[in-house]
Amino acid sequence: MNEIDGRSRMAADSARTVDKTAGARPAASPGPAKLELIGIGKEFRTKRAHTQALSGIDLTISDGEFVSIIGRSGCGKTTLLRMLAGLLSPSAGQILIEGRSLWDGTKADTSVVSQLGVVFQEANLFPWYSVAENIALPLRLRGDGKADRLARAAELAELVGLGGFESSYPRELSGGMRQRVAIARALSTRPKLLLMDEPFGALDALTRERMNLELQRIALATEATVVFITHDITEAVFLGDRVVHLTPRPGRIRQVKTVEFQRPRSIDVQTEAAFGAMERDLRHALDDDEKG
Amino acid sequence: MNNDRVRKILPWVSTPLILLVFFLAWEAFVRAFEVSPLVLPPPLAVLESLTEVVVDPETWEHAGVTAAETIGGFLIALAFGVAVGVLLGKVAWIELSLRPLIVASQVVPKVALIPLFVIWFGFGMTSKVIMSAMLAFFPIMLNVQLGVRSVDKGQREVMRSLNATRWQTFNHLELKSTMPYVFAGMEVGIVLAIIGAIVGEYLGGNEGLGYLVVRTLNELDAPALFATIMLLSVLGLVLYFAVNSLKRFVIPWHESVYGQHDVNG
Ligand SMILES: Nc1ncnc2c1ncn2[C@@H]1O[C@H](COP(=O)(O)OP(=O)(O)OP(=O)(O)O)[C@@H](O)[C@H]1O
Ligand SMILES: [Mg+2]
């Protein structure tokens, strides 16, 4: 019930913003570059095949920006995200975080990585820890006290709609609930850079919508820079300052579209003509990928 | 819910019933076919003998020896099994270079080595402890090796993305994720450890329940032989149950533990 209140309040807020700007003001003024991808490529070599997963990716993401990445299955989205997370070294190009190089050869500079929150395509929870312990694991690793951890875990569990499940174990949760625990875990350290790989893929439409609004709110409140991978065009447009469209084989940036709606946005922007037109363009472009 | 309670109570009802039917059938069989008590004594004679054996303090000394050999051998196997398992699981080139030897030593019927151990270590407890350790070592080592390798890649990436130290990754991930494998190895290992101790006692020495089995056999005291075998079974059960309880305590989150209660929800 609370939720609905929150949602309508938010709707009213952004409707006002949208009115003021006639729905077509450029998104967040570009701050200093948070993340720079320069000529990123990745080739996988296995015994059977060489796969050029990504090639010539150039992208600059400014501080506080929300960038959605869409593309067909297998076009290299996860690969790109793993390189940004310091988990997989690029075979070509450079990744700069706040101007500092993330990769030194095949080694990630861990001091650059530390301000990072990652939500993987799979929840990857630890079955031996309760929901609260899973959420607070990043805090535990960096040495926060137990009381702080518990408080923060409870707060985050509430945020992702899992209040009351703190002492449950992952095996007792549904797939979507597990994914929400993983999101809470990534948020626990209040990261300045959030990398999310189809975080809401396992959720039903209504929960997804609610999580979209929450994510938007959190990203704005913490001034986090977000790289958000999704299959869902509506979600990509709704959340992103820009939408990056990757084409497969090899993964390249086909187009980058700027979404001309001020954030925060209400669910209602989805019914606006400009929103629909952008969705349609992207859908056609993605369809082309399949034919190509 | 009702179903759940039935599930819990059923084994406690069924087991005594089945045993009762078993003993009755045994008695009936012995009477009907007039089996010689030297071959198969009637259950009552065994029971009588069992009470005699149980009150005899000598029996407990023997049981103590067998238990000590088994536990000693098992603990040695556990220590070496975990150490070697981790080493082989983590360092590929060691595993590769040792693999033929490991396969060969698994195939060798290790019980055949007991006479050698007797020559080397004498008729005392040492040779039995070593036999016991030898048998329990392999399942533990192999399971640990598998466990070390089976640490989930996704969970590893979580630790890496959190900038975890080596120790943190070990403590929060590798150790906990390998534990179920250690226990799987231990459950097989404890059973083999007791077999090792008993077979060792069969073949040499004058201590332990295994020795008692051989002695009652030589005395052609079938009821006492049966009673001793029962004691051995109880010892095995107790040790297995101890390991199993430890597992329930240490890894309550694992499906091999909780799954026993909520299969089919
Ligand atoms: N470790 C690997 N070894 C070899 N090839 C790989 C590896 N990881 C990914 N690939 C290949 O790289 C390409 C991109 O994979 P990636 O997982 O990045 O796709 P994706 O866009 O995330 O797909 P999805 O939307 O289905 O998650 C695929 O063709 C895949 O086969
Ligand atoms: Mg993917």
Determine which helix (DSSP H) or strand (DSSP E) holds B262, and give its type and residue range: none
Where do the H-state alpha helices sit in chain A? 2-20, 77-84, 110-113, 131-141, 146-159, 175-187, 205-221, 233-239, 273-291
Q: Which of B162, B173, B254 sits opposite A138 (nearest CB)?
A: B162
CB-CB neighbors (< 8 A) of B260 in chain A: none
Give me the phi and psi of B97, to 5 degrees please.
Answer: -75, -25
Going by CA atoms, what residue is nearest to atom 19 of ligand 1?
A74
pTM for the structure as a whole: 0.82
Let me know if B11 is exposed, middle or buried by CB neighbors in 10 A (0-12, 13-18, 19+): exposed
User: What pLDDT sits at residue B265?
Assistant: 35
User: What pLDDT sits at residue A114?
Assistant: 65
CATH superfamily ID and name for B52-256: MetI-like (1.10.3720.10)
Ligand that lies nearest to the alpha carbon of residue A231, given by its number in the listed order: 1
Q: Which of B156, B157, B162, B261 would you mutate first to test chain A, the one with the most A CBs within 10 A?
A: B162
Task: Please work out whether the CB of residue A68 comes within 6 Å of at least one atom of ligand 1.
Answer: no
A126–B155: do the CB atoms touch at under 8 Å?
yes
Q: b/e for B70-108, b at 16 or more Cβ within 10 A?
A: bbbbbebbbebbbebbbbbbeeeeeeeeeeeebeeeeee
Task: Please work out whether the CB of residue A48 comes within 6 Å of at least one atom of ligand 1.
Answer: no
Q: Tell me the ipTM for this assembly.
A: 0.81
For chain B, which residues score pLDDT lower than 70? 1-2, 259-265
Give bridge partners of residue A35 from the DSSP assignment. A61, A97
Tokens found for residue A121? 């395509």
Name residues whose C-beta falls within 8 Å of residue A244's C-beta, 6 or more positions apart in sequence: A59, A67, A68, A69, A70, A253, A255, A256
CB-CB neighbors (< 8 A) of A171 in chain B: 253, 255, 258
B158–A124: do the CB atoms touch at under 8 Å?
yes
A230 C-alpha vs ligand 2 centroid, how far in Å?
9
- DSSP string for A130-144: -HHHHHHHHHHHTT-
Where in A49-138 does DSSP place strands (E)?
50-62, 66-71, 92-97, 100-101, 103-104, 107-108, 116-119
| pLDDT tens sequence across A254-263 | 888 888 888 8
Digits of tens for pLDDT over chain A (292 positions)?
Answer: 444 444 444 444 443 333 333 333 344 455 678 888 998 889 888 888 888 888 888 999 998 899 999 998 888 999 999 999 989 999 988 898 888 888 888 888 777 766 789 999 899 999 999 999 999 999 999 999 999 999 999 999 998 889 899 999 999 998 888 989 999 999 999 888 999 999 988 788 888 888 899 889 888 888 889 999 998 999 999 999 999 999 888 888 888 888 888 888 888 888 888 889 999 999 998 888 776 5
User: What pLDDT sits at residue A107?
Assistant: 82
Task: With H, G, I as helix, E, B as strand and everything else as coil, classify residue A229.
Answer: strand
The radius of gyration of chain B's CA atoms, rounded to the nearest angstrom, is 23
User: What pLDDT sits at residue A31?
Assistant: 62
User: What pLDDT sits at residue B128?
Assistant: 92
CA dihedral A29, A34, A39, A44 (to 10 degrees): -130
Tokens found for residue A24? 């077509």
- DSSP string for B32-48: HHT--TTTS--HHHHHH
| pLDDT tens sequence across B203-227 | 888 899 999 999 999 988 888 899 9
Q: List domains and CATH numbers for chain A.
A: 2-29+61-89+100-115+192-291 (3.40.50.300)
A141–B157: do the CB atoms touch at under 8 Å?
no
CB contact residues (below 8 A), chain A span 87-116, against chain B: 87, 110, 113-114, 116
Q: Are A211 and A160 in contact (CB under 8 A)?
A: yes
Tokens found for residue A240? 């992103």
Name the one residue in this structure whose structure tokens are 């080694």.
A107
Name the residue type at position A267: I
Q: Which residue of A has its CA nearest to B250?
A: A128
- d(CA B163, CA B152) in angstroms, rounded, equals 17
Q: Are B205 and B128 in contact (CB under 8 A)?
A: yes
Phi-psi region of A124 (alpha: psi -120 to 50; beta: other; left: phi over 0): left
- d(CA A81, CA A102) in angstroms, rounded, equals 13
